Amino acid sequence: MLKTNIKTVTAFAPATSANLGVGFDIMGLALDAVGDKVTLTRRDDGQIVIDKINSPTGLPLEPNKNTASFALTKMCESLNITCGFSIQIDKGIAMGSGMGGSAASAAAAVVAMNAFLETPVSKEKLVEYALYGEEIASGGKHADNVAPCIFGGITLIRSSQDPVEVINLPHPDLECVIIHPHLQVETKSARGILKPEVSMKLYIEQSAQLAATIASLYRNDIELLRRSMQDLIIEPQRAQLVTGYFDVKKAALNAGAITATLSGSGPSLIAFATNKDEALKVRDAMVNAFSTHNIEADSWISPINPNGAYCL
C-alpha cells in the first residue's frame, strides 16, 4: 500500500568504489563527495516514464534500458504497485568512470520508491531490486556498488542472490582520494578481458590478502591495511586499460597514500590517506602523474559515507 499524502519524492545515492583491490565483486564503499538524484512523481495511468535526464552524456530514455526505471519497474511488479511514476534523473556521476554511476541511479530510484510505501522494505530487498538495474548496465548482478550505495560505509557481500546478505564492516577514519582521468572504461569490456581461471598459488595469496584486509578494518590497524590491500589478480589484468596506471599508483604511494588501486573496473583510482592534508598531497601527486601522460583528471577527496542513499 502507498501513502496517500505523498506525490513526489527525491532520493540521493552516493558514488561508490567497488572491489577495493582484494575484494573483487564482494567489497565496496560509499563516498560522500558526489552522487545521483532521482525524483519520482506518481501518475494515474500505470506507466513508468522517464521525463527528463540531466546528464553530460546520453542515457537511454527507454524504461527497459535505463537502470533507474528498470529497477523501479521490477520493484513495482514485486510489490504489485500499479499507479505508475514519472522519473527525473540528475546525474552527478560520470558514466564509465568506475564510481558506481549505474548503481547510484538504480539505488536512488528504489530508495525513493520505498518512501512511498506504508511499510517500507528492508535494505536487503532494496539491493535486490537495484541489482536488476545493475544487471542491464554491466551484464550481471554484481552488488559491490549497489550494496555500499544503499547501506553506506564499507560492505562485504556474502550473497548477491536471493536472499541478499550484506555485512557492514567497521572502517578507520580515512580520507578517500578519487581520481577520475578523462578516459572511459565500460564494465562489460573490463570484465571481458579477465582470465576465467586463477592458479592455486594466486588464490591462496589473494585469500590471505582479503582476510588480512578485513582483519585490519576490525582492528583499526592502518599498517596491516597498508600491507594487505594489494590486488594480485584483477589489477595486473586491468591496468592496461588505464594509461599511466602504475605511474599514478606509484606517485600516490610516494606521496604517502596508505594504498591505491582501481576503483571498480576503472578508469578511476582510489587511494586512502590518514588525514585531509595527506589526502591533498596524494591527490596532487596523482593528478600530476596523469598530466605527464597528457591526461586530464577530475578529483575528489571524501570521507567514507556511513549512511548510503537517502531521501531529500
Active site residues: 134, 187
Amino acid at 104: A
Q: What are phi and psi of 25, to 5 degrees?
A: 70, 0
C-alpha cell at 191: 570484465
Contact 231, 18 (CB under 8 A): no
Q: Give the whole-angstrom CA distance, residue 47 versus residue 272.
A: 44
Q: Give the whole-angstrom CA distance, residue 114 versus residue 112.
A: 5
Which residue is listed with cell 578523462?
182
Q: What is the CA radius of gyration of the chain?
A: 19
CA nearest 148: which of 15, 264, 33, 35? Answer: 15
Strand ranges in 163-250 using DSSP code E only, listed in sequence order: 165-169, 175-181
Q: Give the whole-angstrom CA distance, residue 147 versus residue 160.
A: 9
79: Cβ contacts below 8 Å, ≥ 6 apart: 117, 121
Amino acid at 191: R
Q: What are phi and psi of 181, to 5 degrees?
A: -70, 155
CA nearest 33: which of 301, 234, 289? Answer: 301
3-state SS assignment for residue 45: coil
Q: Give the whole-angstrom CA distance, residue 299 versus residue 270.
A: 10
